[in-house]
Amino acid sequence: MFTVEQIKSAHSKVNSGSDFPKYIHDIKQLGVNAFETWVIDSHTEYFGNDSYQIKSQPVYENLNIAEKNDKDKFSNYLKIHQQGKTDYLTFCRHCAETGIEKWFASLNEMTCTYYDKAGNEILVEKIPAYL
């Protein structure tokens, strides 16, 4: 089974959102089926086969997540991040500002779903294949 250290190694190659498809490809090869990242501090729970699950430590100090979501503003921030114009921490700050509490990535379905604090699905995007 995979370890947090292996995932950290794959994540260390990510400089911006444009690197996300390669990261997904790399951790899928490790056996990760899904993961859930919490914007408050970027701790992540990773899921594998046979109910295997591990959790990473927080990455940064707690962010304040807005109570109300702003889907349009978030969508714009996401687009900018995917173009490689922001780093990971900036993207997380933008998520917090626009009310995104977490995201859930399904590597089997190749989707990433963003949720607000009330558990509402704000945006579902298809993860591009890494070529």
Q: pLDDT of 7-56, one tens digit each?
A: 999 988 877 777 888 899 999 999 999 999 999 999 999 999 999 999 99
Q: How far apart are CA 17 and CA 73, in angstroms?
A: 17
Q: How many CA atoms lie within 13 A of 85 on its CB side?
A: 8
Per-residue pLDDT at 131? 66
Residues in the chain: 131
CB atoms under 10 Å from CB of 32, counted, come to: 23
Every domain of the chain and the residues it spans: 20-126
Per-residue pLDDT at 40? 98
User: What kind of architecture, by CATH, is found in domain 20-126?
Assistant: 2-Layer Sandwich (3.30)
Question: With 90 as the cut, is the pLDDT of residue 123 above it?
Answer: yes
Task: State mean pLDDT over 104-119.
Answer: 97
pLDDT in tens, 54-98: 999 999 999 999 999 999 999 999 999 988 898 889 999 999 999
DSSP-H helix ranges across 34-131: 71-82, 88-97
Our separate counts of H helices and E strands in the chain read 4, 6
3-state secondary structure (DSSP) of residue 65: coil
Q: How far apart are CA 109 and CA 127, in angstroms?
A: 9
